[in-house]
Structure 1
Amino acid sequence: MLADALGQDSYFNDKKILLLDKDPKNTNDRTWCFWEEGKGRFDGIVHKAWNDIYFGGQGFSEQFKISPYAYKLIRGLDFYRHYLQKVSTHTNIEFLQEEVLNVSENEGSVLVTTTEETYIGNQVFSSVFDFKTLKNQHKYPVLQQHFLGWVVKTKHPVFNADRPIFMDFSVEQKNNTRFMYVLPFSDTKALLEYTLFSEHLLPEASYEKAIKDYLNQKYGCVEYEILEKEKGSIPMTCYDFQVHNTKRIHYIGSAGGWTKPSTGYTFYNTSKKISDLITLIKENKSFASLRTKWRFRFYDLLLLDILYSDNGKGQYIFETLFKNRPPQLIFKFLDEETNLWEDLRIISGCPKKEFIKSLIRRLLPFFK
């Protein structure tokens, strides 16, 4: 996204830009989803969009209309093909498949060492994420949104193609925050992901067993073909990644703290940050404004504190919120576009005791 934005802006016509990735980006290795009002810039590569979502809990379940929002899905392969083709039309940008081994900075330049070569540049924007950064600090809780997904094709119609399952907490929680996420492409084809918000990963067989059990128990389906697999782990933390930025090295994407800490959503937020970043580069201004607004960062921190200390509370918190507030307001809040009154509506729709205790724990050190 950043390479294409740089290539489209005439301000950078006299700059040579190198895009490095160890992967050729020719497989469908991931899926991105986001909610959006009306038509958007990615509609040309959106594989599927829905106007309804289903939330499933243990005491409350509901199918919601989400207009004016639509929930949109982009396949990784479609994104790669589209953007690499666009990047290839910019004569000042070169894409090379090489693994980056090291990035070092001196007074006048940055050196990027790969498996093949060492390159010299003026600025580096790195999306290489390293979990060690988070493990070496104790100020902020660190969870992971980790998941394994299958795209399956069934012999008989079992899915509702118009109803994605946004979160289904009816699965056994096992003292964690666990849910199923189902994105149906048709009545016989869907992506199912077993997802956790927790500190530690599971053995791969545990995710797969959960998907098998869900297909059997939810849909009565034991005969199906697995067309694709994907897995991932997304950081959930309020840690300030921008402290690692230097004069010439800047971190972007999850490595720059662009992931929404409370949900793990990154794709759409990144698209907005890229636009702001281009403006800051051209105006030679600090990138500090790319940080999340302090109040939203604090809201996220309170939730992560709860889930870190009592990971089994997630189902109760999300179920209470979706029971008390419409998804449109929840989406607007998660997009960090609400005003203070709307923030208070969201907060009042959450469980009180857990968030008050979390707030006291965070404020207590200031009164000692």
Structure 2
Amino acid sequence: MKHFDYIFTGTGLSALMTVYKMVLSGKFKDKSILLIDENTKKSNDRTWCFWGKEEVIWHKSISKKWDSALFANKDFRRDLDLKPYQYNMVRGLDFYTQVFDLISKQENITFVNQKVTAIEESENVILIQTASESFSCSKLLNSIYNKQKAENQTKYPVLQQHFIGWFIKSEQPVFNPEQATFMDFSVEQKGNTRFMYVLPTSKTDALLEYTLFSKNLLPKQEYETEIKNYIQKLGITNYEIIEKEQGSIPMTCYPFWKLNTKNVINIGTSGGWTKASTGYTFKNSDKKSTELVLFLTTETDFTKFHKRTKYWLYDLLLLDILDRKNELGSSIFSSMFKKGNPTLIFKFLDEETSLTEDIKVILKCPKILFIKAIFHVAFRKIK
């Protein structure tokens, strides 16, 4: 059995960001690192987006940027000037290529294309079992999501950001390649929070995603029927589907960090790194992975890593409302974006606002709903 200093079980976004930054730091050259995943990361299996102001280390993976976004519902449409932010699109394969181009050159890093079947922790050593091999390590960074832990409890609401997306090429030049559609709630809500999300890369090419924030997934046909209806509404009569993608991202304030031990840390969605109120993952994982790499250079006890912030409570209040009254999502987001300052809203969603700025954003939302949510959350005795 081969022993490693660090093992990553699962090589999703958070794991790859972390190991990439470990290499860049130059402080882990003498540490043996193993990555284990059943996925080879050689296909374009997902798309991430994030807004930002400065150039990031992932600039090679950004395939498109927008300075403007559209927010819409049945009653109004608003063009959002994002400056000084830009909305960035990262395609999965581009990100994987950037990361593996670097880590494949490192003699101390090994990638094993296998499925993890068991993890056992003793006081000083963690054992990882796959179908054909066993490994051990001193520190484990796990990003394999434990669905049962989050969903088999009632204190914390668990919704899903679930979607199916089509990359299409249209014969009609209907798209504005200079503007992303951030949320279009003009689609039928059907008792849920449902919207279309459109990322145009040219006048004829775009990714269209039918997205829900709700508890239960839909039959595949329902997502695709809604995409077809939206394409028709745009005036497109002839088009080709280039690629498809689908996903379901947990939206919850469940305290995953409480599952961390001295030598095992849960990262990514498994560690609560996903932004609970929106399902956005890229920016949060970028921040958290930077914090984790710095932590690894100074600390050894993973139970000390997490710090809960005021944004955890804000997210919890929104999820509490959507858990009980899922149909209210459109009105909540619409009230925020109808007259709110887009720059301030994105700063708020990035968890970088002062308390005064928080209040400016929150006051745009339906006040009675959130006051009731405060009492409901308090009644649940959430800590």
The TM-score bracket by the shorter chain reads over 0.9
**Contact persistence 2:261–2:302 (CA under 8 A):** no
Cα distance in structure 2, aligned partners of 1:328 and 1:290: 30
Question: What are the within-5 Å matches in structure 2 for residues 228-239 of structure 1?
Answer: 228-239=243-254
Does residue 243 of the first structure (1) align with residue 293 of the second (2)? Answer: no
Structure 2 unpaired stretches of 5+: 1-16
Tell me how far 1:261 sits from its aligned partner: 0.4
Cα distance in structure 1, aligned partners of 2:106 and 2:289: 18
Determine the structure 1 residue equivalent to 2:366: 351
> Where does structure 1 differ by over 6 angstroms across 4 or more consecutive aligned residues?
none
- Structure 2 letter corresponding to 1:346: V
Select the residue among 65, 68, 71 that pairs with 2:87.
71
Tell me how far 1:364 sits from its aligned partner: 4.4
- The SS at the match of 1:243 is helix
Tell me how far 1:305 sits from its aligned partner: 0.5
Cα distance in structure 1, aligned partners of 2:205 and 2:26: 44
Determine the structure 1 residue equivalent to 2:346: 331
Q: C-alpha deviations, 1:10-51, integer Å up to 9, x for none?
A: 332221100111111111100000000132221122000000
TM-score (normalised: structure 2) = 0.93
Determine the structure 2 residue equivalent to 1:159: 175
Cα distance in structure 2, aligned partners of 1:108 and 1:38: 41
- Structure 1 letter corresponding to 2:33: I
- The SS at the match of 2:27 is helix
**Contact persistence 1:178–1:194 (CA under 8 A):** yes
**Contact persistence 2:143–2:269 (CA under 8 A):** yes
**Contact persistence 2:263–2:302 (CA under 8 A):** no
Report the more deviating stretch, 177-186 or 279-288.
Answer: 279-288
**Contact persistence 1:273–1:290 (CA under 8 A):** no
Does residue 105 of the first structure (1) align with residue 134 of the second (2)? Answer: no
Does residue 90 of the first structure (1) align with residue 112 of the second (2)? Answer: no
Select the residue among 312, 321, 324 that pairs with 1:306.
321
Does residue 44 of the first structure (1) align with residue 68 of the second (2)? Answer: no
Does residue 80 of the first structure (1) align with residue 85 of the second (2)? Answer: no
Determine the structure 1 residue equivalent to 2:8: none
Does residue 322 of the first structure (1) align with residue 375 of the second (2)? Answer: no
Question: What are the within-5 Å matches in structure 2 for residues 122-201 of structure 1?
Answer: 122-201=138-217
Determine the structure 2 residue equivalent to 1:222: 237
**Contact persistence 2:200–2:206 (CA under 8 A):** yes
Cα distance in structure 2, aligned partners of 1:280 and 1:38: 24
Cα distance in structure 2, aligned partners of 1:58 and 1:307: 20
Select the residue among 262, 271, 280 that pairs with 2:277.
262
**Contact persistence 2:121–2:127 (CA under 8 A):** yes
Cα distance in structure 1, aligned partners of 2:362 and 2:243: 39
Cα distance in structure 2, aligned partners of 1:289 and 1:221: 54
Cα distance in structure 2, aligned partners of 1:188 and 1:161: 9
Tell me how far 1:361 sits from its aligned partner: 1.7
**Contact persistence 2:162–2:217 (CA under 8 A):** yes
- Structure 2 letter corresponding to 1:97: N
Structure 2 vs 1, CA of residues 248 and 292 (structure 1 numbering), >3 Å: closer, same or farther?
Answer: closer
Does residue 27 of the first structure (1) align with residue 46 of the second (2)? Answer: no
Cα distance in structure 1, aligned partners of 2:273 and 2:380: 28
Cα distance in structure 1, aligned partners of 2:209 and 2:380: 40
- Structure 1 letter corresponding to 2:232: N
Structure 2 vs 1, CA of residues 288 and 314 (structure 1 numbering), >3 Å: closer, same or farther?
Answer: farther
Structure 2 vs 1, CA of residues 193 and 24 (structure 1 numbering), >3 Å: closer, same or farther?
Answer: same
- Structure 1 letter corresponding to 2:358: D
Select the residue among 201, 210, 213 that pairs with 2:226.
210
Q: C-alpha deviations, 1:75-96, integer Å up to 9, x for none?
A: 0000111101111111110111
Tell me how far 1:280 sits from its aligned partner: 1.2
- Structure 2 letter corresponding to 1:251: N
- Structure 1 letter corresponding to 2:76: F
Tell me how far 1:329 sits from its aligned partner: 0.6
TM-score (normalised: structure 1) = 0.96
Q: C-alpha deviations, 1:63-118, integer Å up to 9, x for none?
A: 11110000000100001111011111111101111111111111221111112210
Structure 1 unpaired stretches of 5+: none
Select the residue among 297, 304, 309 that pairs with 1:294.
309
Identity, % of aligned pairs? 46
Cα distance in structure 2, aligned partners of 1:289 and 1:296: 19
Tell me how far 1:286 sits from its aligned partner: 4.6
Cα distance in structure 2, aligned partners of 1:108 and 1:99: 23
Tell me how far 1:292 sits from its aligned partner: 5.7
Tell me how far 1:344 sits from its aligned partner: 0.6
- The SS at the match of 1:78 is helix
Report the more deviating stretch, 316-325 or 3-12.
Answer: 3-12
**Contact persistence 2:262–2:300 (CA under 8 A):** no
Cα distance in structure 2, aligned partners of 1:7 and 1:93: 9
- Structure 2 letter corresponding to 1:297: W
Does residue 276 of the first structure (1) align with residue 303 of the second (2)? Answer: no
Tell me how far 1:247 sits from its aligned partner: 2.0
